[in-house]
Amino acid sequence: MKKILSLIAVGSALIVNQANAQAKPSWNGIFAKINKEVLDNSNAYTSLKIASETIGHRLTGSENGKKAEQYAYDLLKSYGFTNIKFIPFEVESWSRGTLSVLVGNSTQNLAPIKSVSLAHSPVISDITLEVVDMGNGVEDDYLANPDKVKGKIALVYLGVLPGSKAGTPNLHRSEKTAIATKYGAKGIIVINTADHGVLLTGTASVTGKLIPIPAVCVGKEDGLALKEQLKSTALYSHINMTNHSGKIKARNVVATIKGASLPNEKIVVGGHLDSWDLATGAMDNGIGSFSVLDMARTFKILKLQPARTIDFVMFMGEEQGLLGSRAYVDAAIKDKSINQIRYMLNYDMTNDPKGYATSAAESKILFEQIGSIAKQLDSNFKNTFTVGAGLHSDHQPFMLNGVPTGGGAGGALPKGGGPCYHADCDVFSLVEDKGMRNTVRFNSMLLYGIADATKIEAKHFTDLETKAFLIKNNLKEPLQIAGEWRWKD
């Protein structure tokens, strides 16, 4: 019986080897070392815990933000990196001041409602105006009556309301704010989608600069109650807010491993280190950025040097408009190194992935070969493969300049933490060590495989190919709203 089982095992191995014929034979041993190192010694969970307890939130432009930048630098240095640098960039910083939101059926009968300012709202705003229900806040909600919201406050749902027309786009809060502004709104109240009164913050600006109207978020239950009241009576709101804004310098943190045989080709792997200020940002994006830091540790401790150069990047300013990743890409365009970037892997709230995702369908064979080795090491990794494209994270500036992008996929946020996105409950107690270890080990394998592949089939798009790709993925409209559609039709 043992002999028969051995033959079956050998046969299975032969099938696997044939399936991985295009992968380098050395990857099996290297991936096994990665797997063992991360399972035994990962520092992702511990370092995030320390940062959460000693720094707190990591808002770009704040003293906490500076501490986070230094913490990441020092951590990389402790891992043995000597090629580490701060890359400074100037941003229009924003931080909240005071806020009062009152709502009632007349300007003389107003009561307070729990709310939070959305970032890049004006430094000072004091308005009392009628509230108008604008549904999902997408273009179609305004076209039927373009003057409905003019001079008033738009009430919009953050996501897509149940019963909405099929195909209704799920636009970003900043895009909904831009549309409301376009149609003459003087303020916007955004209804969160999370239950139990959870409030969401985040930018309401598509440009990373101050917007002309006050933007606030209210809880789901309160917001839906306002929608219901508007069916039978007029409502008014008094929004009084102060905020702070000014030019400051923030810093991306970059650690580099030079490629062994193709040093002029580069893989960028990153996650945004910054967070909003309502909590410590443990999920957004502690679990992503500190996993990338531990991927860097893993490469260094194992002395891994794949064919291509790798930049491990902690981006700042993502929450205020992808400011750090834009600065990185702008610098690459300026020094003409943008075409040397063969792939960008982005980890934003990535947790316990079961497979890989990419914007480039041509990567299917390579990604599945890498994943098949990972699956041999742990059958809980399902080696799923997803192709798609979206916006609003640090991959975006790379994608808009033709660089293939990707990362982990198929996981879920720990402990049902989704409702705490951008909220005051995004704290370290939500984080799970196992999920972070899985992110680190399976994506260290992905990173090594791409960086060491004999050939990367995914090409760097030309400008016209990038345009066609974005249209195919239905990204033209949101990019037009954001003022980032550079092509003339």
Is residue 297 within 8 A of residue 308, CB to CB? The reply is no
- The per-residue pLDDT for 1 is 37
Q: How far apart (Å, rounded) are the C-alpha atoms in residues 345 and 390?
A: 14
Within a domain: 126: yes
What separation in angstroms does the CA of 42 have from each of 37, 118, 165, 301, 344?
7, 36, 47, 11, 23
Tell me, yes or no, whether 323 and 372 share the same domain: yes
- Are both 155 and 50 inside the same structural domain? no
Q: How many whole angstroms separate alpha carbon 380 and alpha carbon 119?
A: 39
State residue 248's pLDDT score.
84
**Listed residues 222, 244, 266: the one ending a domain:** 244
CA–CA separation, 233 vs 226, rounded Å?
Answer: 10
- Verify that 229 and 274 share a domain, yes or no: no
Q: What is the pLDDT of residue 93?
A: 81
Is 487 part of a structural domain of the chain? no
Assess if residue 54 is contained within a domain.
Answer: yes
21 Cβ contact partners less than 8 Å away, ≥ 6 residues apart: none
d(CA 176, CA 73): 37
In which domain, by residue range, is 311 found? Answer: 23-83+258-481
Backbone angles phi, psi at 404, to 5 degrees: -60, 145
CA distance 347 to 393: 9
CB 409 within 8 A of CB 263: no
pLDDT of residue 22: 60
CB atoms near residue 108 (< 10 Å): 7
Task: Quote the CA–CA distance of 414 and 267 in Å, as a whole number.
Answer: 28
Residue 300, domain CATH = 3.40.630.10
- Last-in-domain residue among 244, 270, 296: 244
325 and 308 in contact (C-beta within 8 Å)?
Answer: no
Domain boundary among 193, 222, 244: 244
Q: Which pLDDT does position 7 carry in this prediction?
A: 30
Tokens of 434: 């196992």
Residue at 278 is within a domain: yes
Q: Check whether residue 114 and residue 66 sit in a common domain.
A: no
Q: What is the rounded CA–CA span in Å between residue 217 and residue 156?
A: 10
State the Cα–Cα distance between residues 230 and 232, nearest whole angstrom.
Answer: 5
Q: Which residue has the tokens 């798609």?
A: 388
Q: Are residues 223 and 263 in the same domain?
A: no
Same domain, 393 and 280: yes
Task: Quote the pLDDT of residue 92.
Answer: 77
What spatial distance separates the first Cα and last Cα of the chain, rounded to whole Å? 69
205 and 159, same domain (yes or no)? yes
274 and 175 in a common domain: no
Rounded to whole angstroms, the maximal C-alpha distance in the chain is 88
The verdict on residue 16 lying in a domain is no
Is there a single domain that holds both residue 402 and residue 331? Answer: yes
pLDDT at position 361, please?
97
Residue 324: what pLDDT?
A: 96
Domain identity same for 50 and 197: no
What's the rounded Cα separation, in Å, for the pair 457 and 468?
19
Domains: count for the chain: 2
Does some domain include residue 88?
Answer: no
Q: Do residues 345 and 406 lie in contact, with contact meaning Cβ atoms separated by under 8 Å?
A: yes
Kindly state whether residue 18 falls inside one of the protein's structural domains: no
What is d(CA 60, CA 153) in angstroms, rounded to the nearest whole number? 29
Helices 44-54, 287-301: axis angle to 10 degrees equals 130
Mean pLDDT, consecutive 10-residue segments, the chain of 489 residues?
A: 33 39 86 98 98 97 96 98 96 90 97 98 98 98 97 98 96 97 98 96 93 98 98 98 93 98 98 97 98 99 98 96 95 97 98 98 97 98 98 98 98 94 96 98 98 96 97 95 91
Structure tokens at 351: 């947790």
411 in a domain, yes or no?
yes
pLDDT of residue 18: 38
- Other beta carbons less than 10 A from residue 262's beta carbon: 17
Q: Is residue 310 a contact partner of residue 299, using CB atoms and an 8 Å limit?
A: yes
Q: Which SS3 state, helix, strand or coil, does residue 212 take?
A: coil
| CATH number of residue 110's parent domain | 3.50.30.30
Decide if 262 contacts 40 (C-beta within 8 A): no
50 and 177 together in one domain: no
Let me know whether 422 and 276 are in one domain: yes
Q: Cβ(383)–Cβ(368) under 8 Å? A: yes
The predicted structure's pLDDT at residue 273 = 98
